Amino acid sequence: MISSSTAGDVVAVIREVVALGTTRQACEAEAGDPGARPIGQVAVLSVLADEGELRVGGLAAALDLDASVISRRVALLEEADLVARRCDPEDRRAQLVGITERGTEALRRHRAQRAEEVAAALVHRDDAEVARIVGDLRTLLADLNRTSTGGRHRAAVG
């Protein structure tokens, strides 16, 4: 079992990783990058790309957010033609949200850009070293998800 101090270090590093993503998104917005999407919108696109069509409530559960927050994000993504809504064939009163071809392409570009940025930042490391780090991070996430009450996609944005 790890100490409280070590657990606190894990929490601090996770906070720093999340802050890095938030800062990155703010810098893109300030720079006027027309392809930049707020991290919350990227999260919605990522869930839809991974899971397929979902109701707003399903998206909210996957991201551990209130449905009203997700509704606003979906509306903005819909205006940009990155997602589309349709009636749920199982319950015509409900709607399903799905990623469009344009949304899939925007998410692909976003992920490719992020991969290029990471590759540039880690130029001093080799593939084997980074593969070990990635494996360790995946194991850590699996351990945290086993005991977490939060959503699966919350930290996996982009």
Domain boundaries, the chain: 1-34, 37-147
- Lowest average pLDDT, out of 17-26, 41-50, 78-87, goes to 17-26
Is the per-residue pLDDT at 21 higher than 50? yes
Distance CA 133, CA 158 (A): 18
CB 46, CB 106: distance < 8 Å: no
* Residue 145: predicted pLDDT: 87
For 58-84, the pLDDT digits (tens) are 999 999 999 999 999 999 999 999 999
What is the pTM (predicted TM-score) of this model? 0.77
CATH for 37-147 (3.40.50.2300, 3.40.350.10, 1.10.10.10, 1.20.1300.10): 1.10.10.10
**What's residue 155's pLDDT?**
43
Interacting residues of 13 by C-beta distance below 8 A, sequence separation 6+: none
Q: How far is residue 12 from each of residues 15, 65, 112, 127, 136, measured CA to CA in Å?
A: 5, 22, 27, 26, 17
The C-alpha atoms of residue 103 and residue 118 are separated, in whole angstroms, by 22
Non-local CB neighbours of 12 within 8 Å, separated by 6+ positions: none
Q: How confident is the model at residue 125 (pLDDT cuts 50, 70, 90)?
A: very high
